[in-house]
Chain A
C-alpha cells in the first residue's frame, strides 16, 4: 500500500501542478524557522479579510499579521505564497485516531460495549496520532481535532483535543480531557436486550450516576478519614458536577434535546449538544439555556435518528445567536471520516455566509472548545497553525496546498 502510494505521487503532482497556485520557495521545515505566508486573501477570522496579506511566523507562533504594504517580510524568512490563507481548521468533534480507517475490530477504539456508562475511559489511552485518517484530515488544512469516544453508548468515555501533527509529542496535546461523551435517544440504547432499553431508563440511569457523583464529590471534600475509596468512574463524573468538564451530549430528536437541557438544569452542569439534527425545532429552548451546538456534518445521511436533518440547521442556529461549530462526526462505513472543510462549504451554500461558515471550523469552534486563546484565528501570539489554498477553500475543485502547525510545515501535498 505504501509502495503504491509512492508510485502514485509523481502522477498526482503532474496532474495537479498546473492548478496549484502555491510556490514553495525552499523547504521550510524547521520548527523554530521563520516563515512568511503571503496570501492574495488572508482570512484572519479576527476582522475583515486582508487582501494581499502577510502572516509572519516565528518560533511556532504568529508574529504579525497584516497587509503586505504594512508587514514587510524580514530577510531570512521563507516565503510561502497562496491564493487564500486561513487559520488552521478545527474539527469540533471527530473520532479519528481512535476509530481507524480500515474499520477492523482491532482499530475501532471509539466505543467499548461492556457497560453503558464509562466516563473513566480516557481518549488519550486510545489515540493513535499516526492513524491515516489524522493525516488525511491534516492534508485538507485541519490542524486541530476534538476527538475521542464516539456515540453509541449512554456514556462512552472522554474526549481530547490534539493537533494533527501526526507525532506523539506531548506538545501536540491541547487538552487530555476535553469533555465526556454521552448519547441520548435511540442511538444510546443498549444492544441485545441490555439496559438502557428505553429513553426513560437511559435518563434515569444517567441521573442516578450524576447523583452518586454529587455525593462522591461532597465526601471527597470532607475530612480525609471519611473519604470513600478512589473511584475512577465517579471521579470523572465529579469533574462534570464541578463544571470543570462538560458533557458532550450526542442527541438528534427534538424531545431528546429537551431531555438533555433538563438534565443540565437539574445538575447545574455544562453541556454541549452534539449532532442535534432536530435542533431547528427547539431553537428557543437551546438559546434560552445558552448551550452551544456542535452540529452534525452538513452532508450527514438522513437515516435513523437523523432522518429529519436539514442542510440549513447550522444557519438557523447561528442566526438565533447560538454558538455553532461543525464536526466530521462518526462514520461506521464508507467514507470512514468526513472532512469539516467540505461540510462547512455545503453549510455556506445553505444559509451561512462565507465568514460564518469558516467560523464554524475556526474561531467559533475554538471558542466552543475553550481553546481560542491558542487557535482559531490568525493573530499575533497565537499558535502558528495556517492553511493554504489555491482558491476559495469551500469550492470542491480548490486544493489545499500547504499546512502549517506550530510554525512547522506539515504538508505540502496538493490535496
Chain B
C-alpha cells in the first residue's frame, strides 16, 4: 500500500514538473492593429501617446483550440508604426511600452524615425509577462514619442504589433 502511495506521489510530482517546465512545440501569430493617440497640444520633447486595448487574444486562442494552460509564453516579434508625411518629419523617436492594471510596464520596442513614414522598431530581447499583460482585463500600449517642435494637433501613431503565441500541444 505504501509503495503504491509512493509511486502515485512520484507520478504527481513528475507530471507537475513537466507541466511547469514544458517547452513550446507550436506557435501562432497574433496581430494587434491600433492607433496610439497623443492629445494635442504637444510640446517639443517627449510626449505620451496611448491606447487602451481590450485585446481579443482570449477569443483568438479559443478559435484555434488553444487553452491558456497550453501557452508557454507570448513574445513580440515585430512592431511597426506608420506616420503621415507631416508627422514623419516631426517625430524623432518612438519608444513602445505595454502594461496592464495588474502587471508592470515593459519596454518592448524602440526606433529612431529618421524621416520615414513607415517605421520598423527594434524589438527588445528581454520580454517578460507579455502573456499576463495581454490576458489581463485592461491592457495599455504606450509610445513615448519625442518630437522636434510643438504641435497643436493630436499625434496619431498607426501601430501594428505582431506577437507569437508559443504553446505546447500534446
Judge: A and B partners, yes or no: no
